[in-house]
Amino acid sequence: MRREKITHVAALVSAFLTAALLAGCGKEAENTNISKGMELLEEYDYQAALESFEAAIVYEEDDQLLYRGEGLAYMGLGDYESAKEAFLKSLTYAGSGLTALEYDTNYYLAAAHMKLGEYGDAEQIYTAIIGLKKKEVDAYYLRACVFLKENRYEDAIADFEKAFSLEPDNLELVIDAYAEMQAAGYTEEGKVYLSELMESKEKSLKDSEKGMIYYYLEDYDNARIYLDSAVNGDSAETSLILGKTYEKLGDMNYAAVVYQTYLDANAPDAAIYNSLGICLMKQEKYSEALDAFEAGAALGNTGYLQELKYNLIVANERLGNFASAKTMMNEYLSMYPDDANAKREADFLSTR
Annotated domain spans of the chain: 6-116, 133-205
Tell me: the pLDDT tens digits for 109-154?
999 999 999 999 999 999 999 999 999 999 999 999 999 999 999 9
Among 11-15, 39-43, 226-230, whose mean pLDDT is lowest?
11-15
Residue 125, CA distances (Å) to 106, 161, 162, 270, 287 in order = 7, 20, 18, 34, 48
Question: Which residues make Cβ contacts (< 8 Å) with residue 151, sequence separation at least 6?
Answer: none
Question: Which residues make Cβ contacts (< 8 Å) with residue 54, sequence separation at least 6?
Answer: 70
CATH fold of 6-116: 1.25.40
Distance CA 242, CA 207 (A): 12
Distance CA 142, CA 79 (A): 21
- What pTM, to 2 d.p., does this model score? 0.81
User: 284: left (phi > 0), else alpha (psi -120 to 50), else beta?
Assistant: left
Amino acid at 246: Y
Tell me: the pLDDT tens digits for 57-73?
999 999 999 999 999 99
Residue 284, CA distances (Å) to 129, 278, 344 in order = 49, 10, 22
CATH fold of 133-205: 1.25.40
Bigger pLDDT: 52 or 232? 52
Which of these, 150, 147, 209, lies nearest to 174 by C-alpha position? Answer: 209
